[in-house]
């Protein structure tokens, strides 16, 4: 499983690249990057929820990776974004789209790091995620992503966007 920082920073970097190269900055506000980054971490909300559940019930059940790690949630936010877009509400459409993208990035990262999740909950099927063994390099991957993004921003004179 990827580290929490990886979930946030890689989502922000990818959304920022879309912001610069695909969409216009005026149509993709910077605060959407923050929302997308938080959404990239949100599937792991089941970890503290599991702690609370176990504390209240006295059990030792692990719910991490079951419900919130399903493709169902990004699909729901994508559908909501399409509905908002159809109703000409571009602000909420964009917010739903970046939440969907962040959530989906979380699933992709967990899969790439040797996932064990139920991506198509409630249907429990074979785990199709590759076992590349890159989880042992998780800390290094965080650093590489951050440094490459900072270099990209400086080379293109965009680092001032964040100061």
Q: What percent of the chain has pLDDT over 70?
A: 86
Residue 149's pLDDT band (cuts 50, 70, 90): confident
R_g (Cα) of the chain, nearest Å? 17
* Predicted local distance difference test score (pLDDT) of residue 87: 95
pLDDT of residue 97: 97
Q: Which residue has the tokens 């790091």?
A: 113
* Higher local confidence (pLDDT), 19 or 123: 19
Q: Does residue 2 register a pLDDT over 90?
A: no
Contact at 8 Å (CB) between 38 and 15? no
Q: How many domains does the chain have?
A: 1
pLDDT at 91: 93
pLDDT, tens only, 81-132: 999 999 999 999 999 999 999 999 998 888 887 766 666 666 666 666 777 7
* pLDDT tier at 145, thresholds 50, 70, 90: confident
Q: What is the pLDDT of residue 20?
A: 84
Long-range contacts: 146-152, Cβ < 8 Å, 24+?
A: 146/9, 149/9, 149/13, 149/16
Residue 44 and residue 96 in contact, taking contact as beta carbons nearer than 8 Å: no
Could you tell me how far CA 83 lies from the centroid of its own chain?
21
pTM of the model: 0.82
Distance in angstroms (rounded) separating the CA atoms of residues 77 and 81: 6
Write out pLDDT tens, residues 53-78.
Answer: 888 888 887 777 778 888 889 999 99
Check: CB of residue 130 under 8 Å from CB of residue 111.
Answer: yes
Range of the domain at 117: 4-162
- pLDDT for 128: 67
- Would you call 115 exposed, middle or buried from its count of C-beta atoms within 10 A (0-12, 13-18, 19+)? buried
**CA gap 161, 163 in Å, rounded:** 6
Is 70 exceeded by the pLDDT of residue 142? yes
């Amino acid at each position: 499983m990827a580290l929490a920082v990886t979930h946030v920073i890689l989502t922000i970097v990818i959304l920022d690249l879309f912001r610069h190269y695909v969409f216009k900055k005026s149509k993709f506000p910077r605060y959407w990057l923050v929302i997308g980054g938080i959404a990239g971490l949100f599937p792991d909300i089941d970890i503290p929820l599991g702690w609370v559940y176990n504390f209240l019930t006295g059990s030792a059940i692990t719910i991490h990776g079951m419900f919130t790690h399903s493709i169902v949630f990004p699909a729901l936010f994508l559908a909501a974004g399409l509905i908002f877009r159809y109703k000409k509400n571009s602000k909420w459409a964009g917010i739903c789209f970046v939440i969907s993208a962040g959530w989906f990035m979380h699933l992709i990262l967990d899969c790439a790091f040797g996932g064990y999740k139920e991506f198509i909950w409630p249907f429990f099927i074979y785990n199709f995620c590759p076992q590349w063994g890159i989880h042992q390099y998780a800390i290094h991957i965080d650093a590489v992503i951050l440094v490459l993004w900072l270099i990209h921003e400086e080379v293109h004179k965009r680092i001032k966007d964040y100061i």
